Chain A
Amino acid sequence: MNIYIRSQDSDLFKYLSDAQYAQISSQAESIELKPSEVILEKGSLPDSFIILQEGELELTGKQYLGSLFPGEYYGEIFYLESFPSPIEIKAVKPCRVLKLKFSALNEFIAGDPDLAARIQAAVNDSLCLKIIQLTHGSIDG
């Protein structure tokens, strides 16, 4: 995004300060996944961001939609509006993920529009990159 400077490796929290990042990441649940284990089922109603810390996750809808690598996340399409997931996400390798409930994030940003805008800007960056990935097949960097 154009008005903030990236300060963190994590794509979702990239525009937060170290203190803000520490505070919100402490609200997330850490989960270990084995290869082929599903973290998001198609048709389920997602209530969390899935933030990949280690490993690789595969996104599948009607067809393969791409992979997530450490620092990347999923769940941005469900953040503002709830609907059944059109995709499944499963581990390709052993993975460590953080699950951060939307409600926990909303509580964290409540009453602080600057913080909320920084999260929303990061969400938009990620959505744009996912659209570009679908358009171009893959993207570096």
Chain B
Amino acid sequence: MVKYNDHPLYCFLSPEEKKLLKTIVKSQSFMAHETIINLGERNRDIVCLEEGSVSIQVEDFEGNVREVTRIHSGNLVGEMNFIIPTRRTANVVALTFVEADIIPFAKLCALLKEYPLLAEKIFSALSLQLKDKYLGMINA
């Protein structure tokens, strides 16, 4: 499989395949401090951070907010939620101006069902992201 670039989701896609995927992608901007994902939501969209940084925040029993980590452009948010159906486990809040590609769950599933080669490539890209996340955790 040819790796065209280091994009976390589009890295294995040819220009034509990227164009096809882009037909369902919603590009959205967020201002600093704006919430991108709310804890507890059932939403399973994948968010590609194209520009800017976000804070991943959880709340304790008393409602105090604690930052768990920060994620910067060139990374995905919510990719595990796309694979395994759970509620969103954290708030995602823009730290800076954020430009994001949002890939809607239902539309992506429909597209991947129709185009198996696209599915193989998207799943392979997700696999690299998950592998890095897993290695980061076991090497911490």
Contact = CB atoms under 8 A, between A and B. Distances in A.
Interface of A: 1-3, 61-62, 65, 76-77, 79-81, 86-87, 113-114, 116-117, 120-121, 123-125, 127-132, 134-135
A131 B127 contact: no
Contacts of B126: 124
Given A80-B128, A117-B123, A124 B138 contact: no
Contacts of A132: 80, 84
B32 interface: no
Contacts of A120: 119-120, 123-124, 127
A88 to B, nearest CB: 12
A134 B127 contact: no
A134 B138 contact: yes
A125 B130 CA distance: 10
B134 A131 contact: yes
Which secondary structure dominates chain B's binding surface? helix
Interface residues of B, number: 27
Contacts of A116: 116, 120
Contacts of A127: 127, 130-131, 134
A77 B80 contact: no
Nearest to B106: A2
Contacts of B134: 77, 127, 130-131, 134
Given A61-B139, A131-B134, A3 B127 contact: no
A76 B127 contact: yes
Contact of A114 (B82, B116, B130, B131): B116
Interface in B109-140: 109, 112-113, 116-117, 119-120, 123-124, 126-128, 130-131, 133-135, 137-139
B119 to A, nearest CB: 4
Given A2-B83, A124-B126, 7 more contacts: A2-B44, A113-B119, A120-B119, A120-B124, A121-B123, A124-B130, A132-B80
7 contacts: A62-B139, A113-B116, A113-B119, A131-B130, A131-B137, A132-B80, A134-B138
Contacts of B135: 77, 86
A47 B127 CA distance: 17
A129 B36 CA distance: 25
